[in-house]
Amino acid sequence: MLRIEKLTKAYGKHQVLQELTLHIPRGEIYGLLGPNGAGKTTTINIICNLLRADSGSIAIKNQPISEATKPLIGVAPQENLLYKTLTCEENLNFFARIYGLSPKIRQKQVQASLAAVNLTDRAKSPVETLSGGMQRRLNMAVALVHYPQLVILDEPTTGLDIEARYEMWELIRQLREQGITILLTTHLLEEAERLCQRIGIIKDGRILAEGSLPQLRKRIQAQEILIVHTPEEKRALARAQEYGFIHRRYGNELAFWLPEQMELKEIISLFDGIPLNSIARQPVRLEHIYLEVTGNH
Protein backbone atom coordinates (compact mmCIF):
# COMPACT_ATOMS: atom_id res chain seq x y z
CA MET A 1 0.00 0.00 0.00
CA LEU A 2 2.69 2.51 1.04
CA ARG A 3 6.27 2.24 -0.16
CA ILE A 4 8.93 4.75 0.85
CA GLU A 5 12.44 4.36 -0.57
CA LYS A 6 15.54 6.23 0.61
CA LEU A 7 13.71 9.45 1.43
CA THR A 8 15.88 12.46 2.29
CA LYS A 9 14.97 15.97 3.38
CA ALA A 10 17.05 18.81 4.75
CA TYR A 11 16.29 22.32 5.95
CA GLY A 12 19.47 24.18 5.24
CA LYS A 13 22.26 22.24 6.91
CA HIS A 14 19.86 20.33 9.15
CA GLN A 15 19.22 16.84 7.77
CA VAL A 16 15.69 15.82 8.84
CA LEU A 17 15.32 12.57 6.87
CA GLN A 18 18.28 10.36 5.96
CA GLU A 19 17.45 7.70 3.37
CA LEU A 20 14.26 6.73 5.21
CA THR A 21 12.85 3.45 3.88
CA LEU A 22 9.45 2.12 4.93
CA HIS A 23 7.04 -0.45 3.47
CA ILE A 24 3.49 -0.91 4.77
CA PRO A 25 1.28 -3.62 3.21
CA ARG A 26 -2.48 -3.29 2.78
CA GLY A 27 -4.55 -3.72 5.93
CA GLU A 28 -1.71 -3.27 8.42
CA ILE A 29 -1.56 -0.92 11.40
CA TYR A 30 2.00 0.36 11.43
CA GLY A 31 3.25 2.36 14.40
CA LEU A 32 5.88 5.04 13.75
CA LEU A 33 7.52 5.95 17.05
CA GLY A 34 10.23 8.44 17.79
CA PRO A 35 11.21 11.46 19.88
CA ASN A 36 10.18 14.98 18.91
CA GLY A 37 12.21 16.12 15.92
CA ALA A 38 12.84 12.58 14.69
CA GLY A 39 11.22 13.26 11.30
CA LYS A 40 7.70 11.86 11.76
CA THR A 41 5.81 15.05 10.80
CA THR A 42 8.09 15.72 7.83
CA THR A 43 7.47 12.17 6.59
CA ILE A 44 3.69 12.61 6.88
CA ASN A 45 3.79 15.93 5.03
CA ILE A 46 5.75 14.37 2.17
CA ILE A 47 3.36 11.39 1.98
CA CYS A 48 0.47 13.85 1.71
CA ASN A 49 2.27 15.74 -1.07
CA LEU A 50 2.39 18.88 1.07
CA LEU A 51 6.19 18.93 1.12
CA ARG A 52 8.73 17.91 -1.51
CA ALA A 53 11.53 15.51 -0.61
CA ASP A 54 15.09 16.25 -1.68
CA SER A 55 15.50 12.71 -2.98
CA GLY A 56 13.95 9.27 -2.73
CA SER A 57 10.49 8.11 -3.70
CA ILE A 58 7.03 7.42 -2.25
CA ALA A 59 4.34 5.31 -3.90
CA ILE A 60 0.80 4.56 -2.78
CA LYS A 61 -0.77 1.52 -4.46
CA ASN A 62 2.23 1.56 -6.81
CA GLN A 63 1.44 5.15 -7.88
CA PRO A 64 4.06 7.86 -7.25
CA ILE A 65 2.63 10.51 -4.96
CA SER A 66 0.91 13.33 -6.81
CA GLU A 67 -2.39 15.19 -6.82
CA ALA A 68 -3.91 11.94 -8.09
CA THR A 69 -2.94 10.02 -4.93
CA LYS A 70 -4.38 12.56 -2.48
CA PRO A 71 -7.87 10.97 -2.53
CA LEU A 72 -6.28 7.68 -1.43
CA ILE A 73 -5.13 9.27 1.84
CA GLY A 74 -7.09 10.34 4.91
CA VAL A 75 -5.39 12.29 7.70
CA ALA A 76 -6.53 12.82 11.29
CA PRO A 77 -4.00 15.34 12.66
CA GLN A 78 -3.13 15.78 16.31
CA GLU A 79 -5.07 19.06 16.44
CA ASN A 80 -8.76 18.70 15.58
CA LEU A 81 -9.57 20.31 12.22
CA LEU A 82 -13.19 21.07 13.07
CA TYR A 83 -15.45 24.11 12.86
CA LYS A 84 -16.92 24.28 16.34
CA THR A 85 -20.06 26.25 15.51
CA LEU A 86 -21.03 23.81 12.75
CA THR A 87 -22.76 20.51 13.42
CA CYS A 88 -21.06 17.16 12.92
CA GLU A 89 -22.99 16.67 9.70
CA GLU A 90 -22.10 20.13 8.41
CA ASN A 91 -18.41 19.61 9.12
CA LEU A 92 -18.35 16.34 7.21
CA ASN A 93 -20.32 17.82 4.32
CA PHE A 94 -17.81 20.65 4.06
CA PHE A 95 -14.79 18.34 3.88
CA ALA A 96 -16.58 15.93 1.54
CA ARG A 97 -17.16 18.83 -0.88
CA ILE A 98 -13.45 19.70 -0.73
CA TYR A 99 -12.71 16.12 -1.81
CA GLY A 100 -15.07 16.62 -4.73
CA LEU A 101 -17.71 14.07 -3.78
CA SER A 102 -20.97 14.42 -5.72
CA PRO A 103 -24.10 15.38 -3.69
CA LYS A 104 -25.50 11.84 -3.77
CA ILE A 105 -22.25 10.14 -2.76
CA ARG A 106 -21.52 12.93 -0.26
CA GLN A 107 -24.75 12.32 1.64
CA LYS A 108 -24.08 8.59 1.78
CA GLN A 109 -20.47 9.00 2.91
CA VAL A 110 -21.33 11.57 5.60
CA GLN A 111 -23.78 9.14 7.18
CA ALA A 112 -21.37 6.22 6.79
CA SER A 113 -18.55 8.20 8.43
CA LEU A 114 -20.76 9.22 11.36
CA ALA A 115 -21.79 5.60 11.83
CA ALA A 116 -18.15 4.44 11.65
CA VAL A 117 -17.26 6.60 14.67
CA ASN A 118 -20.54 6.03 16.54
CA LEU A 119 -21.80 9.61 16.20
CA THR A 120 -24.98 9.08 14.18
CA ASP A 121 -27.12 10.30 17.08
CA ARG A 122 -25.06 13.52 17.29
CA ALA A 123 -25.27 14.41 13.58
CA LYS A 124 -27.17 17.65 14.27
CA SER A 125 -25.09 18.62 17.34
CA PRO A 126 -22.67 21.56 17.08
CA VAL A 127 -19.08 20.46 17.61
CA GLU A 128 -18.71 22.81 20.60
CA THR A 129 -21.31 20.73 22.49
CA LEU A 130 -19.34 17.48 22.10
CA SER A 131 -16.98 15.98 24.65
CA GLY A 132 -13.28 15.82 23.90
CA GLY A 133 -13.55 12.14 23.02
CA MET A 134 -16.43 12.77 20.62
CA GLN A 135 -14.48 15.56 18.91
CA ARG A 136 -11.52 13.23 18.38
CA ARG A 137 -13.87 10.66 16.85
CA LEU A 138 -15.36 13.30 14.55
CA ASN A 139 -11.83 14.34 13.59
CA MET A 140 -11.30 10.73 12.51
CA ALA A 141 -14.60 10.77 10.59
CA VAL A 142 -13.27 13.73 8.57
CA ALA A 143 -10.32 11.52 7.56
CA LEU A 144 -12.73 8.78 6.46
CA VAL A 145 -15.41 10.78 4.66
CA HIS A 146 -13.95 10.25 1.16
CA TYR A 147 -13.31 6.53 1.82
CA PRO A 148 -9.50 6.55 1.69
CA GLN A 149 -7.38 3.41 1.57
CA LEU A 150 -4.51 4.77 3.70
CA VAL A 151 -5.34 6.61 6.92
CA ILE A 152 -2.70 8.54 8.86
CA LEU A 153 -3.51 8.97 12.55
CA ASP A 154 -1.24 11.48 14.31
CA GLU A 155 -1.45 11.04 18.09
CA PRO A 156 -5.13 9.99 17.87
CA THR A 157 -5.75 9.67 21.63
CA THR A 158 -3.80 12.66 22.94
CA GLY A 159 -5.64 14.26 25.86
CA LEU A 160 -8.35 11.60 26.11
CA ASP A 161 -9.42 9.89 29.33
CA ILE A 162 -9.01 6.12 29.57
CA GLU A 163 -12.61 5.30 28.56
CA ALA A 164 -12.43 7.48 25.44
CA ARG A 165 -9.01 6.04 24.62
CA TYR A 166 -10.32 2.47 24.72
CA GLU A 167 -13.20 3.50 22.47
CA MET A 168 -10.82 5.07 19.97
CA TRP A 169 -8.64 1.96 19.98
CA GLU A 170 -11.65 -0.17 19.10
CA LEU A 171 -12.53 2.17 16.22
CA ILE A 172 -8.99 1.84 14.87
CA ARG A 173 -9.20 -1.96 15.02
CA GLN A 174 -12.48 -1.84 13.12
CA LEU A 175 -10.87 0.22 10.37
CA ARG A 176 -8.21 -2.44 9.96
CA GLU A 177 -10.88 -5.14 9.74
CA GLN A 178 -12.35 -3.19 6.81
CA GLY A 179 -9.02 -3.48 4.99
CA ILE A 180 -7.89 0.11 5.60
CA THR A 181 -4.16 0.59 6.02
CA ILE A 182 -3.18 2.76 9.00
CA LEU A 183 0.00 4.69 9.74
CA LEU A 184 -0.12 5.58 13.43
CA THR A 185 2.17 7.98 15.26
CA THR A 186 1.94 8.04 19.03
CA HIS A 187 3.94 8.79 22.16
CA LEU A 188 1.80 6.29 24.09
CA LEU A 189 3.83 3.09 23.84
CA GLU A 190 0.99 1.02 25.30
CA GLU A 191 -1.13 2.21 22.38
CA ALA A 192 1.42 0.93 19.88
CA GLU A 193 1.72 -2.37 21.76
CA ARG A 194 -2.03 -2.96 21.65
CA LEU A 195 -2.77 -1.84 18.10
CA CYS A 196 0.19 -2.26 15.77
CA GLN A 197 1.18 -5.34 13.80
CA ARG A 198 4.59 -3.77 13.19
CA ILE A 199 6.45 -0.87 14.73
CA GLY A 200 9.21 1.32 13.37
CA ILE A 201 11.39 3.39 15.70
CA ILE A 202 12.75 6.52 14.03
CA LYS A 203 15.46 8.86 15.25
CA ASP A 204 17.41 11.55 13.36
CA GLY A 205 15.48 10.72 10.20
CA ARG A 206 16.36 7.02 10.12
CA ILE A 207 14.48 3.85 11.04
CA LEU A 208 16.68 2.34 13.74
CA ALA A 209 14.53 -0.73 14.43
CA GLU A 210 11.47 -2.27 12.85
CA GLY A 211 9.32 -5.36 13.30
CA SER A 212 6.59 -6.99 15.30
CA LEU A 213 6.75 -6.74 19.08
CA PRO A 214 8.20 -10.28 19.43
CA GLN A 215 10.85 -9.40 16.84
CA LEU A 216 11.75 -6.15 18.60
CA ARG A 217 11.99 -7.93 21.97
CA LYS A 218 15.03 -9.80 20.64
CA ARG A 219 16.95 -6.53 20.97
CA ILE A 220 16.71 -6.88 24.76
CA GLN A 221 18.87 -9.75 26.06
CA ALA A 222 16.49 -10.49 28.89
CA GLN A 223 13.47 -12.59 29.74
CA GLU A 224 12.46 -10.21 32.51
CA ILE A 225 13.30 -6.77 33.84
CA LEU A 226 14.08 -6.53 37.54
CA ILE A 227 13.49 -3.17 39.26
CA VAL A 228 15.41 -2.78 42.52
CA HIS A 229 15.10 -0.05 45.16
CA THR A 230 17.92 -0.13 47.67
CA PRO A 231 19.84 2.45 49.76
CA GLU A 232 23.07 0.65 48.71
CA GLU A 233 22.95 0.77 44.94
CA LYS A 234 26.72 0.40 44.49
CA ARG A 235 26.66 -2.94 46.29
CA ALA A 236 23.63 -4.06 44.32
CA LEU A 237 25.36 -3.13 41.06
CA ALA A 238 28.53 -4.98 42.06
CA ARG A 239 26.51 -8.09 42.99
CA ALA A 240 24.57 -7.98 39.72
CA GLN A 241 27.83 -7.70 37.77
CA GLU A 242 29.04 -10.89 39.47
CA TYR A 243 26.08 -12.68 37.87
CA GLY A 244 26.60 -10.99 34.52
CA PHE A 245 23.35 -9.00 34.66
CA ILE A 246 23.11 -5.98 32.36
CA HIS A 247 21.89 -2.91 34.23
CA ARG A 248 19.99 0.14 33.06
CA ARG A 249 18.36 3.21 34.60
CA TYR A 250 14.77 3.94 33.63
CA GLY A 251 14.15 7.37 35.09
CA ASN A 252 15.32 7.12 38.69
CA GLU A 253 14.82 3.35 38.83
CA LEU A 254 17.68 0.87 38.81
CA ALA A 255 16.91 -2.09 36.57
CA PHE A 256 18.63 -5.37 35.81
CA TRP A 257 18.08 -7.59 32.77
CA LEU A 258 17.45 -11.17 33.84
CA PRO A 259 18.60 -13.61 31.14
CA GLU A 260 16.02 -16.14 32.28
CA GLN A 261 12.89 -16.15 34.42
CA MET A 262 13.57 -16.87 38.09
CA GLU A 263 11.49 -17.43 41.19
CA LEU A 264 11.20 -14.38 43.43
CA LYS A 265 12.80 -16.23 46.33
CA GLU A 266 15.79 -17.06 44.13
CA ILE A 267 16.10 -13.43 42.98
CA ILE A 268 16.06 -12.13 46.56
CA SER A 269 18.74 -14.64 47.54
CA LEU A 270 21.03 -13.21 44.87
CA PHE A 271 21.08 -9.93 46.81
CA ASP A 272 21.53 -11.57 50.21
CA GLY A 273 23.08 -9.15 52.71
CA ILE A 274 22.06 -6.06 50.71
CA PRO A 275 19.11 -4.09 52.15
CA LEU A 276 16.20 -3.97 49.69
CA ASN A 277 13.34 -1.50 50.01
CA SER A 278 11.48 -3.20 47.19
CA ILE A 279 12.01 -5.49 44.25
CA ALA A 280 9.71 -5.97 41.27
CA ARG A 281 9.69 -8.09 38.11
CA GLN A 282 8.41 -6.76 34.80
CA PRO A 283 8.04 -8.29 31.36
CA VAL A 284 10.12 -6.76 28.58
CA ARG A 285 7.91 -3.97 27.27
CA LEU A 286 8.01 -1.68 24.28
CA GLU A 287 9.22 1.15 26.52
CA HIS A 288 12.38 -0.80 27.35
CA ILE A 289 12.98 -1.57 23.68
CA TYR A 290 12.31 2.04 22.66
CA LEU A 291 14.73 3.45 25.23
CA GLU A 292 17.40 0.94 24.23
CA VAL A 293 17.06 1.62 20.50
CA THR A 294 17.03 5.40 20.87
CA GLY A 295 19.84 5.36 23.41
CA ASN A 296 17.77 7.23 26.00
CA HIS A 297 18.00 4.64 28.83
CATH code for the domain of 268: 3.30.70
pLDDT at position 295 is 86
Together in a domain, 148 and 288: no
* 56 and 203 both lie in a single domain: yes
- 103-116 and 132-144 helices cross at what angle (nearest 10)? 140
Mean pLDDT of 117-134: 95
The answer to whether the beta carbons of residues 239 and 270 sit under 8 Å apart is: yes
Q: Count structural domains, the chain.
A: 2
Print the domain residue range for 137.
2-217
| pLDDT at residue 204 is higher than 60 | yes
- Are 189 and 235 contained in the same domain? no
DSSP assignment of 95-127 equals: HHHHTT--HHHHHHHHHHHHHHTT-GGGTTSBG
Instruction: Report pLDDT for 297.
Output: 55
Residues 265, 7: Cα–Cα separation, whole Å: 52
Last residue of a domain, one of 160, 188, 217: 217
Q: What is the mean pLDDT of residues 213-235?
A: 94
Summarize pLDDT for 31-89 with one digit per residue, the tens.
Answer: 999 998 899 999 999 999 999 999 999 999 999 999 889 899 999 998 898 999 999 99
Tell me, yes or no, whether 170 and 279 share the same domain: no
Indicate whether 296 pLDDT > 70: no
Position 2 pLDDT exceeds 90: yes
How far apart CA 13 and CA 36 sit, in angstroms, is: 19
Q: Which residues pair with 256 in a beta bridge?
A: 226, 247
Determine contact, residues 257/222, Cβ cutoff 8 Å. yes
pLDDT band at 159 (very low <50, low <70, confident <90, very high): confident
Handedness of CA 271, 272, 275, 279 (dihedral sign): positive
Residue 167 and residue 80 share a domain: yes
Q: If DSSP codes are grouped into helix, strand and coil, which group holds residue 140?
A: helix
